[in-house]
Chain A
């Protein structure tokens, strides 16, 4: 491991006491100190849309798009400022205290956060623009944009978090708003149960996040990332407690990351999350939600890479990543639903990111996250445009759409080429960097405990993954846009508000890879490296031609074979549509039976006894209490009734009767005869005067 550190490229980052400063970090000035607006504006706007959205001219969409425009501009401004001079700004205020540990709220502006601000802002802006066209006429249009803004806002709270607590708050905000959005069409049973599934799978993994946050924060004595990472930077001797628990803390945090980033055993929720509207899938699979796990690993990266801390966890990370990228990629081959193909493709690409993180390639993992966000959002929006046009998710109802939907076709093709890793498109650079990093890592893992052979296997899986990716994307493009139209609807190009965002995303999907052209540019490395703590990683500074040739061969071969099999040939179209991969098909069709395993192995055995126990509790305990309370209330009521009838009413009736009798006697005096009154007056006067005379 020490070898790895010394050989690793050192991302040059400065700390005040670190002494490794090669380049001074600035505090970012006004731009960074006002960055609290980034999470606050969408959170406020989400509520504003709920209360005022319906009165706005575009039913709340106008607020949402204004917010995302602001985020995109702010993110771009921060990114440009950061490229010009690296920013590391961190501000927190105490809002509560647990024992000696303050709970703080604040915002952080450094390379990693800025990259995410830019990503969420720009991708989010295009997706929101597109969503107006896609959601037109939806009965819960305003509510959709309120939840969608909350979703983006939750992600921004998460990435702006300078401490564990705020990260968890953002994490859960993303979770709850994803639940709202996946279940947007809740009248459909599949959508509502998918939303619950996503929530429950995420919750199960969140336990890992909580445990990890507690272990790591408690052993450092601070929730702040800066304190934790500085403790890591100080070395195991300086932080013995953290070093002791780092493995379990790091593992638990990674389990949390596996839930949000949908890694292998927790991946089941992501394909079902397709039940939500397509813009939601686009944003969820690109810039928000699934990137959160990779972001967390990136944020805590020194913990996993520094010798004496959680370095062993990296073996777990790389294995999970390798499994995810390969197994889920295979499932994508047999899906008929175009959104599900893309969903499994997302899982596969997340596997690449995770494997890269496990190999210690911080830059490569985040670079793939960055480029993937653009082209995956593009592909989802393109798929949404197709679905919008043919009113079906199934590729068996599509075909030949390149003639009727030229813009969708062109942009979808750009996205597919980028995803497949065809040279000069964005995905090529990021995927190649991952392969190079994996190759590099093989030598760095120890051979004694089999670490290097694990890394070799993961590298082989990754190269096969490149083949599979190109293969299923060729299949998707062929089945959707080539051949003859097979559906019943009348396909047409989507409205301008839908294809303009596609073009807007296609441009970065094509060119954004140039940010990290090995040996030529290293803009992205400098961006994500610009953090207040020193981040070590290893990444290629020039092309690794061996890996490049492997990856490229795999991708081109996959693409060509895919085009050959599903190519536009009228005679064999029927055979092609029913083509099934022999042997593997039942396994893949049933998604390796993992959903069935969870359902029959975990959920059903627990659900039955839990339901019976709850029924018993309800029938005997709760009903007993309720009935007892009812009986008691009845007998008390009887006593009160008697007292009310006899005691209170008796007193009132008696006083009434006395008053009535008195009045009856006195009214006899009131004859109305003036002279009688006069007699009384005179008599009284005489008596009084007589009394007076006698008295004196």
Chain B
């Protein structure tokens, strides 16, 4: 079991996700980047689960939960993006500064 490779893969994937979240202007792509971060986390869960030889397979079950939550989150997220686009003719994250006082 080569744990190091999986960790490097997960870290690379997570860093890609962070980069995407911080730099992409399009809200859809930001959501996609968040999915990359979730996938990196899942890889870590499964890798450590196998490495630790957990009889209850907690890491694998948890990664299933993460996938389910991620699917739900994308559903809601895309719905929000759709509504914002309908209202403002744009899905550009820069223009969403309603939180500014």
Contacts and interface: CB of A to CB of B under 8 A. Distances in A.
Contacts of B101: 667, 670, 672
B96 A674 contact: yes
A679 interface: yes
B98 A672 contact: yes
Contact of A678 (B22, B94, B99, B100): B22
B99 A672 contact: yes
Interface string A659-690: 00000000100111111001100100000000
Contacts of A670: 99-101
Contact of B97 (A671, A678, A679, A682): A671
B18 interface: yes
B47 interface: no
A671 B100 contact: yes
B36 interface: no
A678 B98 contact: no
A677 to B, nearest CB: 8
Interface in A326-375: none
B31 to A, nearest CB: 12
B18 A682 contact: yes
Given A682-B18, A682-B22, A675 B97 contact: no
A672 B18 CA distance: 19
B101 to A, nearest CB: 6
A682 B96 CA distance: 20
B9 to A, nearest CB: 20
Contact of B21 (A667, A671, A672, A675): A675
Contact of B94 (A667, A673, A679, A682): A673
Contacts of A675: 21-23, 93-94
Interface in A510-560: none
A331 B23 CA distance: 124
A667 B18 CA distance: 26
Main secondary structure of the interface of A (DSSP, over half): helix
B22 A672 contact: no
Nearest to B99: A672
Interface in B12-38: 18, 21-23
Contacts of B96: 672, 674
Contacts of B18: 682
A682 B20 CA distance: 13
Contacts of A678: 21-22
B20 to A, nearest CB: 11
A689 to B, nearest CB: 13
A673 B99 CA distance: 8
A672 B94 CA distance: 9
Interface string B32-67: 000000000000000000000000000000000000
Contacts of B98: 672
Interface string B68-100: 000000000000000000000000011011111
Most buried by B among A671, A672, A682: A672
A390 B21 CA distance: 112
A630 to B, nearest CB: 53
Contacts of A667: 101
A429 B22 CA distance: 128
Nearest to A667: B101
A203 to B, nearest CB: 80
A675 B23 CA distance: 8
B21 to A, nearest CB: 6
B100 A674 contact: no
A384 to B, nearest CB: 88
Contacts of A674: 93, 96, 99
Contacts of B21: 675, 678
A675 B99 CA distance: 12
Interface string A131-169: 000000000000000000000000000000000000000
A667 to B, nearest CB: 7
Interface string A639-675: 0000000000000000000000000000100111111
Given A679-B22, A682-B18, A672 B93 contact: no
Nearest to B100: A672
A595 to B, nearest CB: 91
Contacts of A671: 97, 100
Contacts of B22: 675, 678-679, 682
A235 B101 CA distance: 106
A671 B96 CA distance: 11
Nearest to B23: A675
A673 B96 CA distance: 7
Nearest to B101: A670
Nearest to B98: A672
A678 B37 CA distance: 14
A179 to B, nearest CB: 76
Contacts of B99: 670, 672, 674
Interface string A249-280: 00000000000000000000000000000000
A682 B23 CA distance: 13
Nearest to A676: B22
Nearest to B21: A678
A675 B18 CA distance: 11
A662 to B, nearest CB: 15
A682 B18 CA distance: 8
A672 B97 CA distance: 4
18 contacts: A670-B99, A671-B97, A671-B100, A672-B96, A672-B97, A672-B98, A672-B99, A672-B100, A672-B101, A673-B93, A673-B100, A674-B93, A674-B96, A675-B21, A675-B93, A678-B21, A678-B22, A682-B18
Report, nearest first, the 9 A-B pairs whose CB atoms are least far apart.
A672-B100, A672-B97, A672-B99, A675-B22, A679-B22, A674-B93, A673-B97, A678-B22, A678-B21
Given A667-B101, A672-B98, A674-B93, 15 more contacts: A670-B99, A670-B101, A671-B100, A672-B96, A672-B97, A672-B99, A673-B94, A674-B96, A675-B22, A675-B94, A678-B21, A678-B22, A679-B22, A682-B18, A682-B22
